[in-house]
Structure 1
């Protein structure tokens, strides 16, 4: 039987004449932090102070002893970041230049000092650049010349922290006769029959060459075995009537243990285990009257994808534990998200990520790792790209949650629209990867899943790559230049990226910028704002709707609230509009769910894991049933979206209401909404003609409001409300904050971290009419202090 020795202990990190204790998996930065040699790059402007780390050579050392009980010993690294030379007892085992691959070396019978020496990533990248020539890049770093997490070199939401190290587990594998080198399960469903075809590749020792071996496989009570004498075998398992895996909200997520064992007679040599699910996935790109669709179809059911974009959850990715993956993805699921796009400037995530998505019913859209740059297609990169793609397709394909492979992020768009084509003058730029190599790899290895060449991508060069009428669309003009209301100007077929920035929670800022007198333009705030003209765009977004606050203290607090409010409203404007146009629009993928450090960004969950108001808004926007009021060319439409499996008979009450809260008209409406359907109904004319008035629609606990003018033009009364705090029986450190409104109170927000840094609330923005109560449950704060609670509450005020 194969024996495995994990190489997690006994490592040292050598730099010049110093050797420090090192942890594997880990990276140079985590070891230097543990030794107290560098300061936390997330605090203040420390990012600059520790920049030297990424420009130095580093070496990890450990002692290996020889194994004599097996024919073969392999040294295996699941991830080396990135350009490394591996030596044992002074002799070179090999060299690596790809963070996204596994590396294996034969060390049979050998012992001595193991050294993994890392060349600085920029040095390696510049050497490749000299070989292949310059290529355009959105950022002034050489990320496209090295197969490394691109956002290590900085992004418009991330710091520049260029890592190195043994970032995934290392081990010794001791084996005899043969081992399982690869098991590739192709899972299909036809009618009520499931099938698993396992394409098995084995590696043999010299003594195992030509030996008759047996492979046995088992899943869902079905077993099979084959005998073979070469390096390959095919095992087929037919499973009658398996339970189907569904995305969350559409059904259950049954998972089946698939086991493959390799045996020599009665002796088991090696085993391989994964969990799989049975389901079908299609991508409907059929042309229609509106253009070219882009609709995911799971088990024959067409669905509107309620998605978020995922970036690495830490700029030091070895720090992301299984528990952290589960927590963050559970946050996504609790916000009614059903699709997570793993973005191409990051990493192929750890197996735990996909395991949790399998369990939670979160569909995964997986980018291949290319983003916002022209990528050379010459060696040494081309061979690395193909090897990386092949390995990761096979590694991830057992997961039923994986529903789509995507060739790149924005590179097809960049080639056509960002001046790359003339600058390249015929040089390679990655098109051969996205349009030839990667689809060939997916078709060969994982034929059950769809592939798309990029995001955005219209499906062919016959249309602009970012044409909203064809395929996937990235909507960034609104954030960059316009008011969020202009999301309603178009109906893309699938919105794969859009978003709006806001700062993180106050407690996150206070931790990251200790002692700073916070202001929108204070030094730390500007350092933790990486987007081009980010604060200018934030300010313009606020100023279109509100008087723009200035300064520190109360001025900063008001700016902080309004920027977070506008972020939530902006994303709501887009999703409400696009969902109401289902099935023409078949999905939205918000940029972004998470952050990798404390920063002003588009995230719904900030870099310390605190929830922004956007998070709570996503939970409303992505619920099965959504109620919204949408302006039209000749009035206002009542829109109801029903993504549930049963019809919805909606008894809606629509009120026209004066600014002080008096109801001036009331209309009951009955709307029949079919299962998985959306209905847009024009409101009666007698509800319109709003002058100093607004509309409120209510049904089944859902509320929508419509104000015909920006807030700064609306005649709000000064908000008047009472606050009381009630203990929750049997729940320590949990209270209800109850707000009683005497006037219209629009977009009330309680910021729980102002009560205690770790406090959380179950509610985001709330609009109350006179006489209404809002109840907000707060955990992690004992209270009861009504004045303290009131000080943590913000709402819209007259300009």
Structure 2
């Protein structure tokens, strides 16, 4: 039987004349950090002080153990090398590599002694390729498109420039005889109620004449098949399988598939994975509104409640199985059902996709191309095809994976960002997105759809970012406009949009020790990577609030409010137009370091107010008041499997708390549908002093029940003017300790109440974000990690809207 021996111990990193202990898996930066050679680049402005690390060559050294008897062949296997390196056993060159996204295997049969991995600077490699192939345009000045490496390690508008090197995924020795399994492609389908698993298996032999068989099992069914030459097909059928569904649509049953390679009765190698039975299609049919982009799982059209995922650490080797599960669990608890793995990052580890399988999170997987023109000549073209084939096969067992996407924004960039003229006919990646990648997916994994890019309208006859066709990225709003601009269009699928806010207060305090925090203090500005980012934050605030000059705490609070308001404006509008719009994918779920960004969860894992707002926005049932051509309507978005019926109360109220007009209506929304209720004219707010409140009952599990002042209720609010024009009363409320948290009882209108738990204790977390209370209403905020509860301390950590002064 094949024996695998991890090679994780005994590695050193050569640093000048010194050798430092090296962690494998790991990278140069984490080794230098552990040895105290460099400061933490996440703190202060240390990022600039470690720039030299990415511009040097580095060498890892270990020893190959003495050859072991009993096996015919020994292979040295690297699951990931970052990025350009040569591998030597003693003085023998085993091979040269240049792709972070691939694994490598070298025959070391009979070899022992020194093992060396010499890494070239990624800058040197990229600049050498650029020198041979010529300049290509990109969104950033760094040369990331000339090397098959995680693009965002060269920096992004939310990430630091920390270009590292190292053995970033596991390494091992594999000893085997006669034959081994080299590749298994499980094609999993459901055909007329029968689950079908077709295992297409490739093997490598040391003995051509050996008679080999494969034995496979799934769901209590077992099959044997002979291997002819170096490949075989094994087909298994499972009658009436339990279907795998995205969360909110059903359960996530997983089946163990086992495959064993035999020579006679002797097992030689084994392959084991978990699969799920489900079908997935991408509906891109034409209609009167344009071209659809709707995911259909098990025949059920899905409105995708999505988030964009970036690498959770700029040093991916530090991301553990537990950290993946924590972060993806946060996504699931926010109502998310789709995670897009963005193209400037990596193909994530098995731990990521395992967690998505179990949580029912659909995965949209970008191929790693983002915001640049990529040369199509060698040495890159061969690397692109090899990495694509390997990763498509590696990830295809996962039922959560439902879509392959060719790139992020490159088709759009070619058309709109001046690339076409600058390229002058040079290659830029189109041959990958419309040629190589769809061919690889069709050949290796025909069970899943492929789309050429995001955004992409499906044809060069249309603009790539045409909102009426396919996927759309909405960035004009953040870059130039007010977030009310989201309501101008109804795209078919919004794959990127978002609004910035700083990280939690405790995260900033940890990242900027000793700094006198201000919106424009040196460390805060260094941890803002977006072009004119703070200026855009200010522009966005001034359209809605009086700008809090010189008041950091107020600025921090209001930017958090504005982020949640902006994302809500988009999602509420677009969800209310289902099924024309079939998904929203917020930019972004997470961060890779402590930074002001578009994330809902900051770089220390703390949940911003946006995260809690997503729980409301992505709940199965959502109430929203929307302006239509004929007037104001209440849209009841029902993505649950049951009809939504019950009483509906509309109240026009003054900011002083007086009910000016009211109506009792009935709500009826079909399952997986949107119902609209016209708001009577007399209930529409007439000016800055009044607003509309809509309460609906019959909504079990609503996260807003406490705010609504009634059990099992949902609420929508409509203020007709920006906050800076609303004559809010001075907020008056009582704060009392209760078991496990605090209770706030409002005596006036209290809008956007926020308890920033990390101001109580860096370890503290609150169970909710922004809350609006009418006079007489109360809310209980549960707090964990707060060891010395005190009502006065809690009051100081509470923020809300105040009268404009």
Per-residue deviation at 1:634?
A: 4.3
1:784 paired with 2:784, answer no
Aligned to 1:512: 511
Contact kept? 1:653, 1:668, Cα under 8 Å:
yes
Equivalent position to 1:655, from 622, 642, 651: 651
Per-residue deviation at 1:152?
A: 0.4
Aligned to 2:461: 462
Choose 670-679 or 157-166, whichever is displaced more. Answer: 670-679
**SS state at 1:529 partner:** coil
Deviations 1:434-476 (A, max 9, x none): 0011000000010010000000000111110000000000000
Deviations 1:509-537 (A, max 9, x none): 00000000000000000000000000000
1:749 paired with 2:749, answer no
1:702 paired with 2:698, answer no
Per-residue deviation at 1:632?
A: 2.7
1:624 paired with 2:629, answer no
Contact kept? 2:196, 2:237, Cα under 8 Å:
yes
The count of residues paired between Structure 1 and Structure 2 equals: 787
Deviations 1:664-715 (A, max 9, x none): 1111121210000012222011112522200011113211110000001111
2: distance between equivalents of 1:682 and 1:321? 50
Per-residue deviation at 1:650?
A: 3.3
Aligned to 1:570: 566
2: distance between equivalents of 1:738 and 1:671? 31
2: distance between equivalents of 1:402 and 1:488? 31
1:714-725 alignment runs, 5 A limit: 714-725=726-737
Per-residue deviation at 1:747?
A: 0.7
**SS state at 2:607 partner:** coil
Per-residue deviation at 1:16?
A: 2.5
Contact kept? 1:68, 1:109, Cα under 8 Å:
no
Deviations 1:467-515 (A, max 9, x none): 0000000000100111111111100000000000000000000000000
1: distance between equivalents of 2:205 and 2:685? 80
Aligned to 2:483: 484
1:160-309 alignment runs, 5 A limit: 160-205=161-206, 208-309=207-308
2: distance between equivalents of 1:384 and 1:315? 23
Deviations 1:704-738 (A, max 9, x none): 11000000111111111111111x2xxxxxx2211
1: distance between equivalents of 2:665 and 2:419? 54
1:314 paired with 2:313, answer yes
Deviations 1:70-102 (A, max 9, x none): 100000000000000000011100000000000
2: distance between equivalents of 1:604 and 1:314? 15
Contact kept? 1:213, 1:265, Cα under 8 Å:
yes
1: distance between equivalents of 2:642 and 2:479? 40
Aligned to 1:2: 2
**SS state at 2:160 partner:** strand
TM-score normalised according to structure 1 size: 0.98
**SS state at 1:546 partner:** coil
Per-residue deviation at 1:18?
A: 0.9
1: distance between equivalents of 2:459 and 2:129? 31
Aligned to 1:609: 605
Contact kept? 1:83, 1:121, Cα under 8 Å:
yes
1:379-418 alignment runs, 5 A limit: 379-418=378-417
**SS state at 2:352 partner:** helix
2: distance between equivalents of 1:778 and 1:344? 37
Contact kept? 2:652, 2:685, Cα under 8 Å:
no
1: distance between equivalents of 2:503 and 2:361? 25
TM-score normalised according to structure 2 size: 0.97
Choose 677-686 or 330-339, whichever is displaced more. Answer: 677-686
**Aligned alpha-carbon RMSD (Å):** 0.7
Deviations 1:552-571 (A, max 9, x none): xxx10000000000000000
Q: Relative to 1, partners in 2 of residues 1:511 and 1:577: Cα closer, same or farther, differing over 3 Å?
A: same
1: distance between equivalents of 2:563 and 2:134? 41
Aligned to 1:113: 114
**SS state at 1:160 partner:** coil
1:437-476 alignment runs, 5 A limit: 437-476=436-475
Contact kept? 1:211, 1:229, Cα under 8 Å:
no
1: distance between equivalents of 2:736 and 2:645? 36
Q: Relative to 1, partners in 2 of residues 1:777 and 1:689: Cα closer, same or farther, differing over 3 Å?
A: closer
1: distance between equivalents of 2:685 and 2:675? 23
Structure 1: 5+ residue stretches without partners = 729-734
Contact kept? 1:143, 1:153, Cα under 8 Å:
yes
Aligned to 2:690: 693
1:638 paired with 2:650, answer no
2: distance between equivalents of 1:200 and 1:177? 16
1:593 paired with 2:598, answer no
Aligned to 1:579: 575
Contact kept? 1:253, 1:358, Cα under 8 Å:
yes
Aligned to 1:64: 64
Aligned to 1:713: 725
2: distance between equivalents of 1:759 and 1:222? 50
Per-residue deviation at 1:630?
A: 1.2
2: distance between equivalents of 1:74 and 1:303? 45
2: distance between equivalents of 1:226 and 1:784? 66
**SS state at 2:398 partner:** coil
2: distance between equivalents of 1:784 and 1:201? 62
Choose 758-767 or 221-230, whichever is displaced more. Answer: 221-230
2: distance between equivalents of 1:312 and 1:680? 40
Deviations 1:252-296 (A, max 9, x none): 000000011000011100000000000000000000010000000
2: distance between equivalents of 1:68 and 1:460? 59
Structure 1 consecutive aligned stretches of length 4 or more whose deviation exceeds 4 Å: none
Structure 2: 5+ residue stretches without partners = 698-712
Contact kept? 1:98, 1:146, Cα under 8 Å:
yes
**SS state at 1:574 partner:** helix
Aligned to 2:702: none
Contact kept? 1:24, 1:166, Cα under 8 Å:
yes
Contact kept? 2:304, 2:585, Cα under 8 Å:
yes
1:793 paired with 2:798, answer yes
1:771 paired with 2:776, answer yes
Deviations 1:775-795 (A, max 9, x none): 100111134311100000000
1: distance between equivalents of 2:733 and 2:259? 65
Aligned to 1:731: none
Contact kept? 2:685, 2:692, Cα under 8 Å:
no
Contact kept? 2:90, 2:114, Cα under 8 Å:
yes
1:498 paired with 2:497, answer yes
1: distance between equivalents of 2:630 and 2:242? 49
1: distance between equivalents of 2:787 and 2:448? 50
1:548-563 alignment runs, 5 A limit: 548-551=547-550, 555-563=551-559
Aligned to 2:41: 41
1:54-93 alignment runs, 5 A limit: 54-65=54-65, 66-93=67-94
Choose 676-685 or 365-374, whichever is displaced more. Answer: 676-685
Aligned to 1:732: none
Contact kept? 1:364, 1:402, Cα under 8 Å:
yes
2: distance between equivalents of 1:524 and 1:482? 27
Per-residue deviation at 1:178?
A: 0.3
**SS state at 2:4 partner:** strand
